[in-house]
Structure formats: C-alpha cells, structure tokens
Amino acid sequence: MTTKTSQPTIRVHRYACQVGSPEYTEIKRQAKAAGHKLMRVYPRQPGYIRKVRSGTYAIDTKHLFGDQYNTTEDSGNLRLHDWYEEINPHDDDSRVGYWCELSPELEAAKDARHVCGYCGAQYDNPTHHMCRRCLGSPYLKADELHMLLLVPVRESSGADRSALVGRLPDGMRAAFEREQEHAAEARKAAEIQRATEHAHSLVENARDAVTQAEYERDFHLACIKAGLVRFLSNLIYYTHKGRFCFGWRESLTDEDRDTLQATISEMQGGDFAPFVDYK
C-alpha cells in the first residue's frame, strides 16, 4: 500500500511462531520497547486475523484511541490494535498475531489529541483544560467534574481519572453550578414549549375529530332521508381516508350495489358519491 508522507500510518508486523522461539522473543522485545501492551484474546470474529497482513495502513484520525486504530476505507476499514494475538484453544504454544509500529505523524496526532472522560469529545491542542460540552449535562454530578479534564489520547486507555481531582481549575465548581442553573432554565423553557405545543395539538385533533364526526353524521342522515336505512349496518367510515364503504361486513349483491350507487349519486347533488366505495 502506498500513502502520502503526511498521512498518519501504521506499519503492521504480522507473525506466526512458537512461544519459546527466538523469533517470538524478539517480537516481544520490540513490541514492549514501543510501549505496547499485549491484547491476547479468543478470535474476535471469524477471519479477522487473516485480513490483517504485514504492511503499511493509513489511519483515520477522526476519532483516536489510546491503543487501537481505525484504518481508512482505502486501507480496508480495519480495527488495529497496538499488539494483538488470537488464542488457539487447541495449541497453547503457538502465537499468531501482529504488533504495530506507529508513524511519527500518528505519534504526533496522539500527543495533540485530548479527550474528555465523561462524553468522549476530542480536541486537538486544546487551549482549555476541560470539556465545555458537559457542564450543563443534567446527569453530571459535582463529584464527577474531574472526568471533564482533558488528557492526551495516548494516556486515556484505562486511565484512573480520580487522580485528576487535584487538577481541577480554580472556579470550576462555581462554573459548573452556573452552567447547571442555566441548563435547568433552558430545559424548563423547552419543557413548557413542548407542553404548550401538545396542548394546541389536542385542540387541533379535537377539531378534526368533530369535523369528521359531523361529516359522518351528515352522510348517515342523508342515507336515512334517501331510504337507505337497511344498508347502514353494513356501512363503515374510514376517518384516516375520509371515505365510506358499503359491504365491509357482508359483500353487496349486484342489485344492492346498483341501488346504492344510483341513490348516492343523487344525494346532495352527488357531493358524497366520490367518497363512497362498494364491496
């Protein structure tokens, strides 16, 4: 695979060897020297390890992690880990996996990228120390404020953020209380708006229901006046369609259909006729 020099990349070193071999000893030395921790698991999905071959892969930096990476579409849309092995339950002495060598561009991207421990938002070279998206969260508690402190992505995997409590900037708790107050006011205003809109919709729905009922009433009265009483038990009005249907309980005979069509075409100047079906 060929990539531009400015594109963050990973060089994958794929291996298959025995646990006590000189080759595996050297692999462990190199992976540990790179600061990697081994992820040794049962196969994550059938055929995954076969898709990862030795070579250079371009990395998608939209969202970075401390110890794993998403390759670009051109590089196969793979999820790569710093150091990965799959367990063979039938041969515990074999080692099949890979370790990754990060390009300077990717190393720099991981140093520049900081992440919020509460919402996961990421920032490049932030000038502020804390995530500004979370202070108004209705779920955030005062004793969780340290989770908002931004740390480099490379330090975020498995980080104990409780140790960051002492790094809370002066005034952060006061800012949190102000944001919580403003957010509560905004939520209250939004709730009032939703309730008001719902109340208006109740009125509109009621008006529509009355209109539909009056229309159905007028048709029934017209049928009674036209001598079609005996057909009303076999009549239904579909409000969602705005249409009447004769024969919904029991199919009409040809004679009854002709009678209904002829009579309804004359009712109120034929105004109802386009909205009546016969079965």
Residue 164: pLDDT band (50, 70, 90) is low
What distance in Å separates the CA atoms of residue 183 and residue 173, rounded to the nearest whole number? 15
Q: Tens digits of per-residue pLDDT, 5-14?
A: 478 999 999 9
Query: Quick one: tokens of 80?
Result: 């790569």
DSSP state at residue 148: G
What distance in Å separates the CA atoms of residue 129 and residue 167, rounded to the nearest whole number? 9
What residues have CB less than 8 Å from 24, skipping those under 6 apart? 15, 17, 18, 95
Regarding beta strands 39-41 and 83-86, do their DSSP bridges make them parallel or antiparallel, or are they unpaired?
parallel
What Å distances lie between residue 32 and 28, 37, 83, 109, CA to CA? 6, 7, 9, 21
The pLDDT, as a whole number, for residue 2 is 40
Q: pTM for the full model? A: 0.58
Regarding beta strands 243-246 and 113-115, do their DSSP bridges make them parallel or antiparallel, or are they unpaired?
unpaired
Phi first, then psi: give them for residue 35, nearest 5 degrees.
85, 15
What distance in Å separates the CA atoms of residue 266 and residue 26, rounded to the nearest whole number? 97
Whether the per-residue pLDDT at 185 is higher than 70: the answer is yes
DSSP state at residue 127: S
What distance in Å separates the CA atoms of residue 240 and residue 76, rounded to the nearest whole number? 49
Express as a percent the part of the chain with pLDDT over 70. Answer: 91
Q: Tens digits of per-residue pLDDT, 192-238?
A: 999 999 999 999 999 999 999 999 999 999 999 999 999 999 999 99
Query: Quick one: tokens of 109?
Result: 């991207």
Tell me the chain's radius of gyration from C-alpha atoms: 35
Q: Tens digits of per-residue pLDDT, 39-78?
A: 999 886 767 888 899 999 999 999 999 899 999 999 999 9
What Å distances lie between residue 78 and 70, 204, 244, CA to CA? 6, 52, 58
Domain edges within the chain: 9-102, 113-169, 208-278
231 touches 223 (CB < 8 A): yes
